[in-house]
Structure 1
Amino acid sequence: MKFNYKNSLFVLLVRLFTVYVVFMLCRLAFLYFNSDLIDPIQGKDVLSLLRGSLMFDTVSIIYINLLFIVMSLIPFHFRENKMYRKVMFWVFMVTNGLGLLINVADIFYYPFKQARIVLGDFFLLGEDAFVPLLADFVADYWYGFIFYFLLLVILYQSYKCSCEGKQEFLEKNETVTPKRYYIVNSGYFLVMMVVVVFFVRGATFSAASFPIGMNDAFLYTENPTHTSFMLSNPFCFIRTIGKSKEAKALKYFDDKIAENIYPTTHNPEILEAFDIDRKTNVMVIILESFGKAHIKSLSDQFKPGQETNTPFLDSLFQEGYLFTNGHQNGYRSVDALPAIWASIPTFKEHFLSMPNSVAPYYALPQCMNDMGYNTAFFHGAVKESMGFVSFGKNTGIKNFYSRGEYEQENGTADFDGKWGIWDHKFMPFVHKKLNKMSDTGKPFFATFFTLSSHHPYAIPPGLPKQFSEGTLPIHRAIKYSDYALGEFFKSIEKEPWYKNTLFIITADHSSGADNKKFKKAPFDYTIPIFFFKPGSTMKAKDDKIMQHIDIMPTLLGMMNYDKPYFAFGKDHFDKEAAKNHFVINFSNGAFNFITNDYYYLFNEKDVLLKSDYRKDPLGKHNLIKHITKADEEDINRFKAFIQEYYTHLNKRDYLPESEKKKGLAMVGLSKE
């Protein structure tokens, strides 16, 4: 019998090759649309990146098409059935269509997150704003959907043009006996299963190997922006399914050693005196998307004469204590409150999207309650938005004011159609409620999270002409929110409680940039952190590192809080604690560690990069060959931090030792 080149294995490989082609087209489109966020690819890097890209595409294609592969090669005659062939076709189109949809969406979502889409990003599906935002996304990136449908056409045509030779399926054909049919097709099936296992394990059969993961991208490059280029979706999405059930434990030391290197229970001491006490109101203002790159007084990248986006903030920053080297500890809005209220950062997955976040806390709001404060949270979205209210209740917030409360008093006309109430409409509502809180005679601890400076960057009716275009679409929205904040401060400065209030102003996260410096680590995650009390002598520009998780311990230190508390951050003004301090966040599949002198890139196993980020902001000079004893001590502290983080995550342990001993029972589920 002549060899049939249209046997089931050959046809399957042809169809899978077509999937390779469309995935590679997605990668080229990803590079084209995100070239300003990905470092240039040098000639020496091409082969390594190509190998890595093919590896991750192979695993993606296997994951997506595993059912189709089995259906194509299972050695039984019912494969000849016409209905069975139709089912096979739809399995192929639907599974690969969904995979391509995530891949194409990643091309245009990447600039917002600067990391590939993972399962945790789908928390937005539960938001009321998801449908209108999706409509805006389709309208803004309509050409992406045309590209997506063209890819589907390629898959469709390829599938229809490839078909199997009939003689393989006709049992009565004299050249193919039933015995030969089952032997040959069983051989095809077994060979393909071996290939599947081989590639899923990272192109190895080593007994020590594991299924290939996102972190393995660093096997092909040390550049984190190149790992994003290599990693394909749905690989990143599929590899994070089930990861939220329990965080991966990372262990570098004996548990006691790690705990000694980086303790999480703080026993505060009375330190530097500030002109605040336990009768001082505290208001935390979290500005949506106000990254340092957009703020002229914090960025050295504005051109001479370039218009500021934040005239109010620029002026206010002259009147208080400004941390000019501030960093976020997560990458989306949902990560800000755990970091600020509970001093818990987010790394690979959004902390609030993990079951590990359902636990007792003794966080900043509860500490403020203990000191006699009236606590409140203000956010112009619905109460269910991003789990903020649920988390706030668990951490000790007593009063919540959201879109529902606003519309009960003011009607529904001020809804922006996407996220919630326009900032300049919601802020007078906040003012009114703060007045009532002040009238109780108790000091207040209030957190206000703005929302209007968010995609689709709309401006309220009647105000568009007031705000000029900037160099990025977000700049008009930043100008509007800065204006709204200025009007808010103008109104509250007349209140008797104003001068007795410490304002802490920060951003939830950065949001892109119009220059190379703020698109690259460690500057891509930089934000303002500002402490301001009207009339206070507390004025300075502090260039030492500061981060979201440091806000809680720093504030408690300023207020001479005298009970033990849990925090991953440090009191910035505690000279002993801050002596070996560092900032930590996670992007592009690796940890970023920043000290006052250096930036380190750590992929859970090795330090891949050390750079003098102040002198070399673009990281062109890797100092990894010049690791000193001081560097090694810092690296051990980094590792201890990571080990402690995942230890506490997996134990759902966010309490100081004193509270654990008392068996504190707070709102939420038990650790079991």
Structure 2
Amino acid sequence: MARAIFLVYHSAKTDTLSFLETLKVFGYGFRMDISFAAYLSVLPFLLFLMEVAFRKAILLKVIRIYTYVLIPLVLLLTTMDLELYAAWGFRLDTTPLQYLNTPAEMIASAGAAPVGLLTIQYLIFAALAIWAFRRLSHTWESSPHHRQKLLLELGVSLFLVALLILPIRGGWQQIPLNQSDVYFSQNMFANHAGVNVPWNVMQSLLRKSYNTKNPYEYLETKQAEALVQEIYTPKSDSVPSLLNVKRPNVLFIILESYTAKLIGAYGGPSEVTPNLNALAKEGILFSNIYASGDRSEKGMVALLSGYPVQTTTSIIKTPKKTERLPQLAADLKKEGYFTSYYYGGELAFANIKSFLINGGYDKLVDKSDFPSESYNSKWGAHDHILLDRVQQDLKTMKSPFLMTVFTLSSHEPYEVPMPAKFKGQDEETQFKNAFHYTDWALGRFFEEAKKQDWWRNTVVVLVADHGHLFPGRDANDAPSKFKIPLMMVGGALAVKDTVISSIGSQTDIVPTLLQQMGLPTHHYAWSKNLLDAKTTPFAFYVFNDGFGMVTPDGALTFDNVSKKPIQRDSTVTDKQVEQGKAYMQTSFDDFLKK
């Protein structure tokens, strides 16, 4: 009912939806409705169980009080949301808590609200809800108990309590329900309309996203900003051209957990990745690139939006913030590119789906598009199955295109559908075998790709989402854990067997590519061109409440809790330490402002 009222209240936006899209708003949102209803039911169900066991009427009175508190609270949230959405453009979360000390600002956000109409609506629905509850509670409170049915009643009550876990997490799937599960459309209003407001507020509270105080205030704001600005200037007027096609197709392949330590072309063992080693000779190898974070969803934002990673949270978990990020897909779509994203797992993981939809991808392919027999036990379709599908679809894909592909088989539990190359059952050997399998799948893919017409007009970007502690079981902050491969190959390249040794980060890749295509990059404020000889070579990354910064002077890692360096090369200057702190502070400030 609240969703229907929301659509009527915002009728001008609702008119932009087709009848089918409107139905989907209700269909996709229903899982979130059921999830929140199940959360609210946990306490009453436990009290019902206790009442069956102890026959204490006071327990039913507690349920009555609990419900009388929740009815006005939930209705208040849904009523407030109607007007605040018009002012803010996103569904109600804990943002109003930011204004508790300045309530005038929040009232100003809804200054033109029809307060009288909203109040009448609130009172009518509160009265209806209380009336309905009184009818229901009268039924159970007047039902006689039979001692001979005690065990049966206990069993049923216990079963119902345990069963709540299913609707709470939104079903049997591996990833619990999140905002991405209601995102289905290129029309952001349709996605927003599917969100259950009280559920959204609850999740926002759990994430503490209402906290707008920057915990990393090391320097005066102007001093911190100046130090960061210094490392992003100056820039050259021109950079070397690497492409022989002005508007090439772009195949952007993100490799799960692909650490540079296991790749022969980066000095690792040659037998683990023979195909990537050979491929490196056919294009451009960037030898000093670092991941921005240590999680897939964090790497996604750095890679596709050129945006820095946060420490104990991630911007991708808050769709209203990712709506404000630039994205490679959105930029190329403006140039007439067809954009698609392929992943063998669940796109709902960590709100990745909402991030991709915000980026304007035309086509999303995930686990549900592959047969179940192609899955490993945990994540989804094996890499060779994914790449076979990619190969098949590329044959009919219109040019120019951007296709983003994300592998998964090198993620634990490291299951591979082929005989193990390396003997051993320890975790590090299993990881190496999974790593080798993905390389085999890539080799198979590229062998066929080079025979296709699209290849000669395509640039392929191969890069990892993050590094890995194996081999060697690196410390959580170690620079070697964050060092990842970056290669560019394909028929659209004008150079081969080239190594770029400048230190850089995942955040630098998209602007480097766009500038090669003659497209603007000013909106990627946290990026530099890896081919620009005048830029300051550096890489910044974060781990759990700490950061690392690598420059030609050396590597620094810093703990944000103790506010002391964890590791500092003897050649690292005091200025580099201050610049690392400044980058941590200003990037988190920017995150809070999104």
Distance (Å, rounded) in 2 between the aligned partners of 1:545 and 1:265: 15
Query: Does the 8 A contact of 1:329 with 1:335 survive in 2?
Result: yes
Query: Does the 8 A contact of 1:297 with 1:314 survive in 2?
Result: yes
Distance (Å, rounded) in 1 between the aligned partners of 2:376 and 2:555: 40
| Equivalent runs, 1:118-267 vs 2, <5 Å | 128-129=173-174, 242-246=207-211, 248-249=213-214, 250-263=216-229
2:528 maps to what in 1?
A: 570
2:33 maps to what in 1?
A: none
Query: Does the 8 A contact of 1:423 with 1:484 survive in 2?
Result: yes
1:337 maps to what in 2?
A: 300
Amino acid at match of 1:428: D
| Equivalent runs, 1:467-506 vs 2, <5 Å | 469=424, 472-506=429-463
Relative to structure 1, the CA distance from residue 416 to residue 514 in structure 2 (aligned partners, 3 Å threshold; closer, same or farther) is: closer
| Equivalent runs, 1:417-496 vs 2, <5 Å | 417-437=377-397, 440=398, 442-460=399-417, 463-464=418-419, 469=424, 472-496=429-453
Amino acid at match of 2:261: A
Shift of 1:516: 6.3
Pair 1:400-2:361 in alignment: no
2:549 maps to what in 1?
A: 593
Relative to structure 1, the CA distance from residue 472 to residue 244 in structure 2 (aligned partners, 3 Å threshold; closer, same or farther) is: farther
Amino acid at match of 2:173: D
| Equivalent runs, 1:595-614 vs 2, <5 Å | 595-604=551-560, 608=565, 611-612=568-569
Query: Does the 8 A contact of 1:469 with 1:476 survive in 2?
Result: no
Relative to structure 1, the CA distance from residue 492 to residue 467 in structure 2 (aligned partners, 3 Å threshold; closer, same or farther) is: farther
Deviations along 1:328-371, whole A, 9 cap, x unmatched? 11111121210101112323223323467343232222111222
Query: Does the 8 A contact of 1:286 with 1:449 survive in 2?
Result: yes
Relative to structure 1, the CA distance from residue 455 to residue 256 in structure 2 (aligned partners, 3 Å threshold; closer, same or farther) is: same
Deviations along 1:470-526, whole A, 9 cap, x unmatched? 852211111111111111111111111112211111111222223366876111111
Question: What's the secondary structure of 1:573's corresponding residue?
Answer: coil
| Equivalent runs, 1:339-378 vs 2, <5 Å | 339-348=302-311, 349-354=313-318, 357-378=321-342
Distance (Å, rounded) in 2 between the aligned partners of 1:503 and 1:473: 28
Q: What TM-score comes out, normalization by structure 2 length?
A: 0.60
Distance (Å, rounded) in 2 between the aligned partners of 1:382 and 1:593: 32
Relative to structure 1, the CA distance from residue 314 to residue 607 in structure 2 (aligned partners, 3 Å threshold; closer, same or farther) is: same
Shift of 1:592: 0.9
- Which of 254, 257, 262 is residue 294 of structure 1 equivalent to? 262
1:155 maps to what in 2?
A: none
- Which of 275, 297, 300 is residue 243 of structure 2 equivalent to? 275
Pair 1:553-2:511 in alignment: yes
2:274 maps to what in 1?
A: 311
Query: Does the 8 A contact of 1:518 with 1:524 survive in 2?
Result: yes
Query: Does the 8 A contact of 2:515 with 2:521 survive in 1?
Result: no
Unpaired runs of 5+ residues, structure 2, are: 1-53, 55-168, 177-204
Amino acid at match of 1:367: D
Relative to structure 1, the CA distance from residue 521 to residue 465 in structure 2 (aligned partners, 3 Å threshold; closer, same or farther) is: closer
Relative to structure 1, the CA distance from residue 540 to residue 247 in structure 2 (aligned partners, 3 Å threshold; closer, same or farther) is: farther
Question: What's the secondary structure of 1:575's corresponding residue?
Answer: coil
Shift of 1:268: 9.2
2:37 maps to what in 1?
A: none
Amino acid at match of 2:556: Y
Amino acid at match of 1:279: R
Distance (Å, rounded) in 2 between the aligned partners of 1:269 and 1:635: 30
2:70 maps to what in 1?
A: none
Shift of 1:547: 1.6
Relative to structure 1, the CA distance from residue 588 to residue 275 in structure 2 (aligned partners, 3 Å threshold; closer, same or farther) is: closer
Question: What's the secondary structure of 2:258's corresponding residue?
Answer: coil
Shift of 1:260: 4.4
Distance (Å, rounded) in 2 between the aligned partners of 1:392 and 1:355: 10
Shift of 1:636: 3.7
Q: Give aligned pairs, total.
A: 394
Query: Does the 8 A contact of 1:268 with 1:562 survive in 2?
Result: no
Shift of 1:128: 2.9
Query: Does the 8 A contact of 1:291 with 1:525 survive in 2?
Result: yes
Relative to structure 1, the CA distance from residue 446 to residue 503 in structure 2 (aligned partners, 3 Å threshold; closer, same or farther) is: same
Question: What's the secondary structure of 2:463's corresponding residue?
Answer: strand
- Which of 570, 575, 580 is residue 638 of structure 1 equivalent to? 580
2:494 maps to what in 1?
A: 536
Distance (Å, rounded) in 2 between the aligned partners of 1:357 and 1:499: 37
Query: Does the 8 A contact of 2:548 with 2:557 survive in 1?
Result: yes
Q: What TM-score comes out, normalization by structure 1 length?
A: 0.53
Relative to structure 1, the CA distance from residue 639 to residue 277 in structure 2 (aligned partners, 3 Å threshold; closer, same or farther) is: farther
2:375 maps to what in 1?
A: 415
Query: Does the 8 A contact of 2:281 with 2:496 survive in 1?
Result: no
Distance (Å, rounded) in 2 between the aligned partners of 1:599 and 1:645: 19
RMSD: 3.4
Distance (Å, rounded) in 2 between the aligned partners of 1:265 and 1:354: 31
Amino acid at match of 2:466: H
Query: Does the 8 A contact of 1:335 with 1:350 survive in 2?
Result: yes
Unpaired runs of 5+ residues, structure 1, are: 1-81, 83-124, 132-239, 613-622, 653-672
Distance (Å, rounded) in 2 between the aligned partners of 1:423 and 1:467: 19
Shift of 1:419: 1.1
Shift of 1:248: 4.2
Deviations along 1:562-612, whole A, 9 cap, x unmatched? 363133221111223x2x232111235421111123111233485525644
1:324 maps to what in 2?
A: 287
